[in-house]
Structure 1
Amino acid sequence: MAKSSVDDDRLEEEHILDVDVTQEMEASFLEYAYSVIYSRALPDARDGLKPVQRRILFSMDEMGVRPDRGHVKCARVVGQVMGLLHPHGDGAIYDALVRMGQPWAVRLPLIDGHGNFGSLDAGPAAMRYTECRMANPAVAMTRGLDQDTVDYKPNYDGKESEPVVLPAAFPNLLVNGATGIAVGMATNIAPHNLIEVVAALRQLLRNPEIGLDELMRHIPGPDFPTGGKIIGLDGVRDAYATGRGTFKIRATTRIEKVTPRRMGIVVTELPYMIGPEKIIEQIKKGVDDKKITGIADVKDLTDLVNGTRLVIEVKNGINPEALLEQLYKATKLEDTFAINAVALVEGQPRTLSLKEMLEVYLAHRIEVTLRRSTFLLNKAEERLHLVRGLITAIADIDDVIAIIRTSDDAAQARERLIGAFDLTEVQANYILDMQLRRLTRYSTIELEKEADELAGQIGGLRDIIDNDHVLRDLVGDELAQVAKEFGTPRRTVLLASSGAPTATKATPLEVPDDPCWVLLSGSGLVARTDALAPLPTEGRAAHDVVTAKLATTAKAEFGVITNHGRLLRCSAIELPTVPLTASAPNLQGGSLAAELWPLEQGERPVGLTTLDPDSLGLALGTERGIVKRVNPEQLSKDAWDVIRLEDGDQVVGAVELTDPEVDLAFISSDAQLLHFPASSVRPQGRSGGGIAGIKLAPKARVIWFGAVRSETDEVVTISGSSSSLPGTETGSAKVTALAEYPGKGRATGGVRAHRFLKGEDTLLIAAIGPAPVVAGAASGSPVELPSVRGRRDGSGTPVAQPVTMLSGRGGHSPEPTDSGVQSLFDEE
């Protein structure tokens, strides 16, 4: 009977509701989706962090695990985050922590890991084995949390508080990128270069109406931590304009001799998040399926010292370039990256363009700076108030002590101090709370000095708060300081197109020995053309300038003369092939000289030669005005010296002589031009040091040397200041027919080629070549030069942008230096 009564009571207490399953599932799924989108998968557009990443950095900052402290176990950090802030699994927290510390995953690591943090092909060790601490950029992300710069919110159980967003001293969303899959949406943002992003932010601060083209001058494309090459910039532009875009990433490769008898494809940089083991697995599968032919062996020589090095040995008689094209199609040596820039803005997921991402970050950083300045202002005003009270008290310290001693209690002493010295209650309490012995530290002079400093600080802070221009300038200066402290050079090369022919069934793996041009560009790219037709424009290449060319065949050898006076034996088959179009050869598909040839530190190519034993030999000119004709000679070596250089001297130009009646010409930094017959220079052997070519003034140097023809060539000189940074000064350009310059004897000073204007004292760059000489900027874009003038010693005309490369006849203009050359040009 008693049991039945209890069951009836339980039934009366239960409240059962009939709920439609569809509605319940919809409500539960929406709640789950909301949690995933807002609390787990998508980053905040302001600091670029997901909640778990933000909680990790905040917890480590609270724990004091900073760069100046020792590493702690990752398990300790994970436990702290999970116990106080992130009510999810420890695996998810540890994975997020590890990713922030992997230099191949993020462009600017926020975690300094110690131990096995994994690799592109393997995961990390368990968190009980690894250790971590904040990296210096992470300190910049959290700096200012104690200065009321951001809002806080309760944690999951309401017992702790956490920041809604970090102050973020740099735009982490763009710099480190983000990836995440939510419910019904996903995000995938590529990493970028910090220096470039900061430059764009500072430009946006100055001009809020800036367009996408102007922004892309500062941020031309993503910059992956693993380097590689981005092929095709149309997808990048689409992503920056709309928040969605796709482009290809290609591994950085070079073709070189891996054994004395075998060529190989050496991979030094892989596409983003692709590991060597995955590439090897795909190559082996392609060989087994007979989709890839011509590979002898694959070796992974990657290590911590030399980085990625994947060597693919090519069978003899196989064209490495054609094989490489096969690999691009059959493996992840060429991968696709799709940008989907989704992030939370004011709590809502939005697809953001490049400008919108920058604007959201700038608005956040301006608010952080304003709140920090307000906080510091309040602190300074409070301290100044106390200091002024101390100054008043110390001036009559005996009376202060007497009032305190004769008062019945602290309340009476406070009231008497307020009445006697016109103090506030805060000032009186500060004096009463201070120990008597501390008064000896304070002198009136020291306190007045502190008061003056506080007043100046307060004035500066008020100026920041009240003046929007000052506030924006401060934000820009702080961004510039962060870029200076943490910025690194760009790693990913941007190419408008691959520049290489697409591999098809008709592409032969056997190398045909067809005639071709070998081209050297002003930006250091080297390539061979697919034909030997006349070049459409002598000095012009698509997005570049041709500074030297050589007619040869695909399987022939040729020589490269360097500024160190060496001749390198090279094979044309090693060079990437570029199409010879009707307009101009596109050298964007070429390779840098340093990637092709074993150049020493500071060594660069200055000329090309056919290695023909029946030629008239080489003519070389050095920076110190030495000229040398070298008898044609081939050695059974890959490299040999063709001139004996004095210490500090270097070759600035080299050309193979084909006509005994040709002239040789020098142009010096102090605007002197000398040309004389090549026949006046006696040929020497390899060990010879040359003879005097041009007589140089003190501190002057040769900036161009080559072979010239007075009847067809023109002279281009660009003047500027030697104190300006290389490549930053536009300068004044002058174009004159070479026929205007009379020839003089060898070892003389030549004639004046350019009159310097006020503020100019040197030639930045110069060249002589067939008309018209072509000029290019550092980006490769053409620079328009003024029309030809008859006056040989006239001054120049300002050009639109700095010129860093000029075409010429067989000569290569050296890069500008900051050697501070001072011209001793005689106006007389």
Structure 2
Amino acid sequence: MARTDVVGLPDGERIEDVDVSEEMQGSFLEYAYSVIYSRALPDARDGLKPVQRRILYQMAEMGLRPDRGHVKSARVTGEVMGKLHPHGDGAIYDALVRLAQPFTMRVPLIDGHGNFGSLDDGPAAARYTEARLAEPSMAMTEGLGEDVVDFVPNYDNQIMQPSVLPAAFPNLLVNGASGIAVGMATNMAPHNLGEVVEAAKHLLMHPHATLDELMEFVPGPDLPSGGTIVGLSGVRDAYATGRGTFRTRAKVSVENLSPRKTGLVVTELPYLVGPERVIEKIKDGVQAKKLVGISDVNDLTDRNHGLRLVIGIKSGFNPTAVLEQLYKHTPLEENFGINNVALVDGSPRTLGLRDLLDVYVQHRLSVVTRRSEYRLARRRERLHLVEGLLIAILDIDEVIQVIRTSDDSEAARNRLRDVFDLSEVQAEYILELRLRRLTKFSRMELEGERDQLLADIAALEELLASDERLRTQVATELTEVSEKFATPRRTLLTEADAPVRGGRKATVDPESLQVADAPCRVLLSTTGRLVRVDIPAAESGIVHVPKRSKHDAVRSTVVSTVRGQVGALTSTGRVVRFSPVDVPAVPPASVRLDAGVRVTEYLGVPKNETVVALVSLDASVTDSVAIGTAQGVVKRVVPAAWPDKPDFPAIGLKPGDQVVGATQAPESDDLVFVTSNAQLLRFPAAAVRPQGLPAGGVAGVSLAGGASVIWFGSVAVTEDTVVATVSTTSSALPGTDAGRAKVSAITEFPAKGRGTQGVRAHAFLKGEDGLTVAWAGVAPPYAVGSDGAARTLPDWLSKRDGSGSPLDAEVVTIGGSAAAVDGTRGEA
């Protein structure tokens, strides 16, 4: 039996008492150092973590250049894991994927082919994707064969790997970094390559540059996803101390999704925020009643148009106010905390902007210096050989004789050194010389090569001897990289102090988000344009019209409120209810109807219908609505009869009949019919008894055979009230005959009884057979052409049965001026 020092233990073994706290402390410190140095934190020189550096280096060794084909990502992962990175393939592939994602990296370093994931979904497995180096990675690894950086053994001491990459551009600032170590973490924002390069060049030429000078080149981060950085005080803190916080907002625009619906269109999101996450938060906020005024959310993102997240706004809500609530309660606004922790000389340090640039600049100076020394040594070695060859070629016969008379290669080498005063290296090189190099042309090549080597050596020696030239060389190389890879800034920088987030109020008052219910007028042009004019109560509905513009002839107008109810009466006798809140608004100081929306599109009216008038659905309005049809029927409806429905019939039409006009008129007004055969009838509105909605009306004007009503409305008979008519020849080709027009005072037309033919309103010349356009109202009458452009009418009054004056251009409609329309009435 073997002797034991302690009972139960073999000879030579013993038990030692160890303090558990000391053992745990030592083991934990070793583990923490390993995580900090070998896994989680990037090197401040090349901005890469060890796994990222090993991936790029191994792919460069595999020859996966941008001009080569893609290879399976699993192959790259296996090569890196087997040779350089002693960790799981999952961690390696995750790092490779991040280097290829354009929404994560400002300048992607890997060109990925396949599904490399999105902000909401992970990538496909490594066996399904392919990868190769991107063009910027060639600048990161360029020069590794010229002893520009130190190489260290891999995990099993069998392969050498670079301790840092040459990094031809400041990758840490350009692409940022994130990582969690033990007891510390890093979170660095991406920046614009062109801006960072300019700052590095300035620091190269001005080593004592201040932070303010550098921030003139780098005003703030430039995120891959774009967006807006709100408030730059946190950015400056981060640049000064290495720690700071800034807010990023999505890029959002207010757009008309349809004629009656407004929405918020998101085209850029904060950094690392995906659309699905935003949609989920919006839905949660709506369900929790933290968000109001939102009707729907749709993700219309595609490859052709990029990100497009459409948020529908309910009618009556202010899009800007809704957007502020979205900023407060959803990831459309996010905070980004900068914590610039990186390895400097193997130790973690918190670095400001100047420190980061200085570390990189010193690294590039070291790389260029070592590269220049390497190239100088190689050129000196080559020059030494070329000089020996030139000596041999000058006395080639004697060289051959010495070699032929020598017993062996060792003797030949020694005799060449003695006879021609050569070094051992030169003698060995001459012995290996091929006979085809002994031509006259080879001698000329060697002399040219010698001269070039001498020039290169002089330039390299001059470069290494001058710190100024060395810095200029580094700056020149940075400029070349910037010209090749720099892109325009994507992120907008704005100054703002009051944050949207962080308010104490958790719920939203819906009334605070809704458009104020202020007085307004809704105008319909004769060309079918609909606008809203918001008017303070003190102005009593007065609007102002500058010089004439397109579509400025008014067909109908009503007084309402922004959130009130207005009806659009169509040619089929149907009233479509709508609220003016979503109608495009124009300022009362400059009313332009061409800024309006097409009423048929806004209301979704079928193509076989046209909107002929606007009516107020406000119960407080006492004036009845008079309706006239093409077959001469007239009907009055009191406002109390309007039902609370989205649309309803206002008159029962006979087959083949249609509404040609309607007006909200008091009983003191006269109703006016104008027919296609130039008859005008006016009679008091009181002569028509109001009827219910199903009624078909009563006889208004008696029509001759083949004639129809072309205009109907109401007027207050004053000295400013006129009638405008246009006659043409129906047999003429369109556009060849502009016709004749005249303007007459309404007093020229005597009032007649309802149901009669009225009096002649226009005398036809030879060839003319009817009226095409007519109108009655407060002067001046506004005429427009088929393109909406203004047309000129006679500015003098004619007799009621006059033939008028020739027109310069075709007139398709006539209406009133927005400034001349009485704000208390619904007719132009």
Q: Shorter chain as normaliser: what TM range?
A: 0.5 to 0.7
Q: Which amino acid aligns with 1:182?
A: A
Cα distance, 1:609 vs structure 2? 9.8
Residue 249 of structure 1 is matched in structure 2 by 248
Query: In structure 1, what is the Cα distance between the partners aligned to 2:96 and 2:135?
Result: 15
Change (3 A) 1:429 1:3: closer
Residue 25 of structure 2 is matched in structure 1 by 26
List aligned pairs for 1:348-387, cutoff 5 A.
348-387=347-386
Query: In structure 2, what is the Cα distance between the partners aligned to 1:613 and 1:84?
Result: 75
Residue 100 of structure 1 is matched in structure 2 by 99
The reply on whether 1:207 has 2:221 as its aligned counterpart is no
Cα distance, 1:439 vs structure 2? 3.1
List aligned pairs for 1:272-421, cutoff 5 A.
272-421=271-420
Query: In structure 1, what is the Cα distance between the partners aligned to 2:83 and 2:30?
Result: 23
Change (3 A) 1:686 1:443: farther
Contact 1:613–1:634 (8 Å) recurs in 2 = no
From 511, 514, 531, give the equivalent of 2:515: 511
Change (3 A) 1:688 1:481: farther
Contact 1:232–1:496 (8 Å) recurs in 2 = yes
Query: In structure 2, what is the Cα distance between the partners aligned to 1:81 and 1:148?
Result: 22
Once the two structures are superposed, residues 323-378 of structure 1 have per-residue CA deviations (whole angstroms, 9 ceiling, x without a partner) of 11111111100000000000011111110010000000000000000000000011
Q: Normalised by the size of structure 2, how large is the TM-score?
A: 0.62
Change (3 A) 1:44 1:531: farther
Once the two structures are superposed, residues 261-317 of structure 1 have per-residue CA deviations (whole angstroms, 9 ceiling, x without a partner) of 211101001100010000011111111111111111111111222211111011111
Once the two structures are superposed, residues 575-598 of structure 1 have per-residue CA deviations (whole angstroms, 9 ceiling, x without a partner) of xxxxxxxxxxxxxxxxxxxxxxxx
Contact 1:174–1:189 (8 Å) recurs in 2 = yes
- Please give the root-mean-square deviation of Cα atoms over the aligned residues, in Å: 3.6
Residue 761 of structure 2 is matched in structure 1 by none
Change (3 A) 1:470 1:139: same
Cα distance, 1:24 vs structure 2? 1.5
Cα distance, 1:21 vs structure 2? 1.8
Q: Which amino acid aligns with 1:298?
A: V
Change (3 A) 1:686 1:247: farther
Change (3 A) 1:418 1:126: same
Contact 1:558–1:609 (8 Å) recurs in 2 = no
> Secondary structure of the equivalent of 1:153?
strand
Contact 1:230–1:247 (8 Å) recurs in 2 = yes
Query: In structure 2, what is the Cα distance between the partners aligned to 1:471 and 1:558?
Result: 67
Cα distance, 1:612 vs structure 2? 7.1
Change (3 A) 1:121 1:403: same
Contact 1:613–1:633 (8 Å) recurs in 2 = no
Residue 183 of structure 2 is matched in structure 1 by 184
Change (3 A) 1:62 1:15: farther
Residue 87 of structure 2 is matched in structure 1 by 88
Cα distance, 1:38 vs structure 2? 0.7
Cα distance, 1:401 vs structure 2? 1.6
Query: In structure 2, what is the Cα distance between the partners aligned to 1:257 and 1:450?
Result: 71
Paired residue total: 552
Residue 522 of structure 1 is matched in structure 2 by none
Residue 120 of structure 1 is matched in structure 2 by 119
> Secondary structure of the equivalent of 1:48?
coil
Identify the range of structure 1 (331-340 vs 496-505) with the bigger mean alpha-carbon deviation.
496-505
Query: In structure 1, what is the Cα distance between the partners aligned to 2:494 and 2:132?
Result: 38
Once the two structures are superposed, residues 645-702 of structure 1 have per-residue CA deviations (whole angstroms, 9 ceiling, x without a partner) of xxxxxxxxxxxxxxxxxxxxxxxxxxxxxxxxxxxxxxx999999xxxxxxxxxxxxx
Change (3 A) 1:457 1:292: same
Q: Normalised by the size of structure 1, how large is the TM-score?
A: 0.62
Contact 1:386–1:430 (8 Å) recurs in 2 = yes
Cα distance, 1:101 vs structure 2? 0.5
Query: In structure 2, what is the Cα distance between the partners aligned to 1:374 and 1:380?
Result: 10
Change (3 A) 1:267 1:397: same
Once the two structures are superposed, residues 182-205 of structure 1 have per-residue CA deviations (whole angstroms, 9 ceiling, x without a partner) of 011100000000000001011111
Query: In structure 1, what is the Cα distance between the partners aligned to 2:123 and 2:440?
Result: 55
Aligned-residue sequence identity (percent) comes to 58
Residue 73 of structure 1 is matched in structure 2 by 72
Q: Which amino acid aligns with 1:132?
A: A
The reply on whether 1:51 has 2:55 as its aligned counterpart is no
> Secondary structure of the equivalent of 1:453?
helix
Once the two structures are superposed, residues 512-566 of structure 1 have per-residue CA deviations (whole angstroms, 9 ceiling, x without a partner) of 3789xxxxxxxxxxxxxx999xxxxxxxxxxxxxxxxxxxx9x99999x9xxx99
List aligned pairs for 1:549-568, cutoff 5 A.
none
Once the two structures are superposed, residues 237-265 of structure 1 have per-residue CA deviations (whole angstroms, 9 ceiling, x without a partner) of 00000000001000001010112321110
Query: In structure 1, what is the Cα distance between the partners aligned to 2:29 and 2:156?
Result: 22
Identify the range of structure 1 (33-42 vs 400-409) with the bigger mean alpha-carbon deviation.
400-409
Question: What are structure 1's unaligned runs of at least 5 residues?
Answer: 516-529, 533-552, 568-607, 616-631, 639-683, 690-828
Change (3 A) 1:290 1:166: same
> Secondary structure of the equivalent of 1:11?
coil
> Secondary structure of the equivalent of 2:400?
helix
Change (3 A) 1:557 1:27: farther
Residue 448 of structure 1 is matched in structure 2 by 447
Larger Rg: 2
Once the two structures are superposed, residues 200-234 of structure 1 have per-residue CA deviations (whole angstroms, 9 ceiling, x without a partner) of 01111111121111111100000000000000000
The reply on whether 1:430 has 2:429 as its aligned counterpart is yes
Question: What are structure 2's unaligned runs of at least 5 residues?
Answer: 520-533, 553-584, 600-783, 790-828
Query: In structure 2, what is the Cα distance between the partners aligned to 1:195 and 1:6?
Result: 73
Cα distance, 1:89 vs structure 2? 1.2
Change (3 A) 1:558 1:320: farther
Contact 1:113–1:130 (8 Å) recurs in 2 = yes
Query: In structure 1, what is the Cα distance between the partners aligned to 2:499 and 2:179?
Result: 34
> Secondary structure of the equivalent of 1:118?
coil
Q: Which amino acid aligns with 2:355?
A: E
Query: In structure 1, what is the Cα distance between the partners aligned to 2:175 and 2:85?
Result: 22
Cα distance, 1:500 vs structure 2? 9.9
